[in-house]
Structure 1
Amino acid sequence: MAFHPMVEEYLNMPPVTRAYTTGCILTTLAVQLDLVSPFQLYFNPNLIVSQWQVWRLVTTFLFFGPVGFTFLFNLIFTYRYCRYLEDGSFRGRTGDFVIMFVFGAVCMVLCALVVNMLFLGQAFTIMLVYVWSRRNPFIRMNFFGLMNFQAPYLPWVLLGFSLLLGNSVSVDLMGIAVGHAYFFLEDVFPNQPGGFRLLKVPHGIVRLFDPAAGDPAYAPPPEERPGGFDWGAQRPQPAGDNQ
């Protein structure tokens, strides 16, 4: 059966990316159609505890604001870098990807208790960008044709862009901090003398999301590291550079 290209692209999205971006779009449409109010979605620990409005722990990550530039900007980045991670360094390890989502969400909720943030979706996007950028350090980025830089600088470029737009940088800084915490615990500390993995995936989650991984003969596919930035060009590295 032939599908419309957009439908086919949607069906080909990896499961976690598809679920998260779909949740963001449906939540925004519900607000636009006045089916729900943003006041029913924002993070409010008092209402979560006193009235058991536990859905706020999820919806705070799904709403980027009304349809407009900020919403489209965040949605594009969320989709792009969530998919890059799931198709790249988390390919064949959906359980690990889910654990990263849970780790990031828990850390941000704890931070929001201190800094009083209402919506955490943008910070979550920056976390995804940060982890991808640190795992692809030699990819060259081009931002709006104005500047060229290595991928690890992308979160800081986005922070500067938010500052130019007059937005608070505290959201971006939270995303960078949580992303760095995950990168350190997962990619740096285990490779140090005496280091070990702290974020081990429970066996039940492995069996749920990656049943093939329980097979002793299973070997995950080779990692691909897609890159680039649609609002600019990805520059190849000189021949002498090796990742």
Structure 2
Amino acid sequence: MAAQTFQQEYMQMPPITRAYTTACVLTTIAVQLDIITPFQIYFNPDLIFKKYQIWRLVTNFMYFGPIGFNFLFNMIFAYRYCRMLEEGSFRNKTADFLFMILFGGTLMTILGFFVNIVFLGSAFTIMLVYLWSRRNPYVRMNFFGLMTFHAPYLPWVLLGFSVLLGNSIMVDLMGIAVGHIYYFLEDVFPNQQGGFRILKTPRIFTYLLEGPPEDPNYNPLPEDRPGGFNWGEGQRVGAREEQNQG
């Protein structure tokens, strides 16, 4: 019964959230089972461009370290805020959501050339948290029962918590910076006087993920209705018999 419930919950996850969290879990399991090692998947520009190990551009976003508190903490936040964004402000906008992820991942990769960070998954999670928090400014948050605050403060609370755990502050700052760049370009600048939308989702994304747009001038032919039965019209049970008797 529990397995069936898990399967139902898993299949109800929106597609991109399901794909990303699954990739993270499978990558972590593969490392735990010594199928691969972190040295084969971490971000290394020299190996990417000189040895053509292109997969590192993607795999470095999928590993949060060995299974433990840090892994669970990051996975919970990645799953939660990726799903809330995909089901919230990006609802029915799968192509836009994927474009946002690729835009943020590309910026982080570029910054990774100048900052010594070998795994960018935590920064990616903070980016998701930042964007969600700015689009839900009036939501009240409770952090482990220790403090209550509005959503826009959440990334900074997580940054402070990360410092207490001994993690690098640059990871969180990178995620916040990239999240703010996307938020400004998508939500702030287009709404200013003289502003316009800079980020535009490629049509190929929309076509592949959401299908071709419907033609507003298209009028479908009426369906064949076997036996002349009006499929769109309801009829009370027994009404035909009453009509025949009358």
Normalised by the length of structure 1, the TM-score is: 0.86
The alpha-carbon deviation at position 54 of structure 1 amounts to: 0.2
- Tell me how large the CA RMSD over aligned residues is: 1.2
Structural mapping, 1:1-243, within 5 Å: 4-211=4-211, 214-215=213-214
AA aligned to 2:199 is L
1:84-118 per-position Cα deviation (integer Å, ceiling 9, x unaligned): 00000000110000110111100000101001210
Distance 1:108 1:194, change over 3 A: same
**Which runs of 5 or more residues in structure 2 are unaligned?**
217-246
Residue 153 of structure 1: CA displacement?
A: 0.3
Cα separation, 2, equivalents of 1:28 and 1:44: 19
Distance in 1 (CA, whole Å) between partners of 2:48 and 2:137 is 40
Using the TM superposition, give the Cα deviation of residue 216 of structure 1 relative to its aligned residue in structure 2, in angstroms. 5.1
Matching residue's letter, 2:73: F
Structure 1 counterpart of 2:170, one-letter code:
S
Equivalences, count: 215
Provide the identity percentage.
65
Distance 1:90 1:215 in 2: 20
What are the ranges of 5 or more consecutive residues in structure 1 without an aligned counterpart? 218-243
Residue 240 of structure 1 is matched in structure 2 by none
Contact 1:42 1:118 in 2 (8 A): yes
**Deviation readout 1:22-64 (Å, 9 max, x if unpaired):** 0000000000000000000100010111111000000010000
Distance 1:139 1:25 in 2: 29
Paired residues of 1:99 and 1:199 also in contact (CA < 8 A): no
1:177 maps to amino acid: A
Between the aligned partners of 2:165 and 2:215, the Cα distance in structure 1 is 52
SS at 1:114's partner residue? coil
Using the alignment, how far apart are the partners of 2:160 and 2:45 within structure 1?
30
Does 1 or 2 have the higher relative contact order (CA < 8 Å, sep 6+)? Answer: 1
Q: In 2, distance between residues paired with 1:92 and 1:216? A: 18
Which residue type is aligned with residue 22 of structure 1?
A: T
Residue 229 of structure 1: aligned partner: none
Distance 1:63 1:3, change over 3 A: closer
Q: Supply the distance in 1 between the matched residues of 2:141 and 2:29 (Cα, whole angstroms).
A: 32
| Bigger Rg over Cα | 2
What CA distance in whole angstroms lies between the structure 2 residues aligned with 1:179 and 1:124? 9
SS of alignment partner, residue 4 of structure 1: helix
Instruction: Give the C-alpha shift of residue 3 in structure 1.
Output: 6.6
d(CA) in 1 for partners of 2:204 and 2:167? 41
Deviations 1:147-206 (A, max 9, x none): 000000000000000111111111000000000000000000111111111110111111
The aligned amino acid for 1:215 is: E
TM-score normalised by L of structure 2: 0.85
